Homo-oligomer: A and B are copies of this chain.
Amino acid sequence: MLLFLDPGTDQAALAARLGDYGFHVHAHTYEGHTTLGLVGPGKAKAAELQALPGVRRVLPIQEPYKLVSRTFRPDPTLIKVGRATLGGSQMVLMAGPCAVESEAHIHEMARLVAQAGLPVMRGGAFKPRTSPYAFQGHGEEGLKWMRAAADAHGLAVVSEVMDASQIPLMLEYVDVLQVGARNMQNFTLLAALGKVRRPVMLKRGISATIAEWLMAAEYILSGGNYEVILCERGIRTFETATRNTFDISAVPVLKQLTHLPVVVDPSHAIGVRDKVIPLARAGVAAGADGCIVEFHTCPEEAMSDGPQALYPEELQQLARELEGICGAIGRGFARL
């Protein structure tokens, strides 16, 4: 920790105080400004030190997260999801409907996912909705339908968990527990997910910085669950021409900071079908380990988020284009 002092600060008094916290203090003066370097077993947080008289600024030298950091673990974490592996040499395309709509429909969707050669299906059984008056999902019944449909085609399943109380139920049916953007800092949920042994796909909060997102992942890893997949799905900015702003830069930034796999969700980032394909291509070109998109047999009739769902033939086209881009940047493309 480095402290930058106000001019005229009583350094002796401050050093004594810092000694009480258990720090050894090294003072240096550059350009007429004094900085104190703290070493040793002291335990005060930056905010506490900031409150001390004369302290103008506190600069932590290390990142606040540890377990998720590349410094802590230089090699990439590989996470097995059904027949695919996230974080390795192959990019994984995942697809499915926004919500599980009916037993027959999810079976047809699973057939189409397998037909496109993709190893992982997504689908929501519990739906967080901005309005209390909107469709809230089929719950456990939806999970059962999706599991059976996926098993019939050898697919893995990703689905959202909305509350810690749902975890035991979800564990019976899904391969990856998704945490939605609105829950990224639901610390009760994160702590509970740290205690299970099942991969978690952690979506970025709509206004979360990359540092906060990594801290949220740290909550899960610090509980003992090391399999976390980070999913960029757009951030909130001033621009209103798109639903969110797809933060493509997050992909290379995360690949440098953390060993965890990074996935992109262009469907929720942009919210309109005809721009999902360009953004999916962009995400993969930027180095994402995976891409998760929504499609539907008939988007016009989807029970939620129809406007952003691809048509089945668009999904097949996307798979072909992504395979080509993977080739151009020296990467494989996971096939079922």
Contacts and interface: CB of A to CB of B under 8 A. Distances in A.
A38 B218 CA distance: 35
Contacts of A209: 238-241
B275 A51 contact: no
A28 B33 CA distance: 16
Interface in A285-336: 285-287, 299-300, 302, 304-307, 321, 323-325, 327-329
Contact of A281 (B182, B307, B321, B329): B329
Contact of A237 (B30, B165, B219, B245): B245
Could you tell me the dominant secondary structure of chain A's interface residues?
mixed
28 contacts: A1-B31, A2-B2, A26-B30, A28-B28, A33-B61, A35-B61, A45-B134, A47-B304, A130-B185, A130-B215, A132-B190, A133-B222, A163-B164, A209-B239, A235-B237, A245-B247, A246-B249, A249-B269, A251-B282, A252-B275, A252-B278, A253-B275, A279-B286, A281-B329, A285-B325, A323-B328, A324-B328, A325-B328
Interface residues of A, number: 100
Contacts of A1: 30-31
Nearest to A280: B285
Count of identical protomers in the assembly: 4
A245 B209 CA distance: 12
A210 B239 CA distance: 7
Interface of A: 1-2, 4, 7, 26, 28, 30-31, 33, 35, 37-39, 45, 47-48, 50-53, 59, 61-62, 64, 71, 128-134, 162-165, 182-183, 185-188, 190-191, 206-207, 209-212, 215, 218-219, 222-223, 235-242, 245-253, 256, 269-270, 274-275, 278-279, 281-287, 299-300, 302, 304-307, 321, 323-325, 327-329
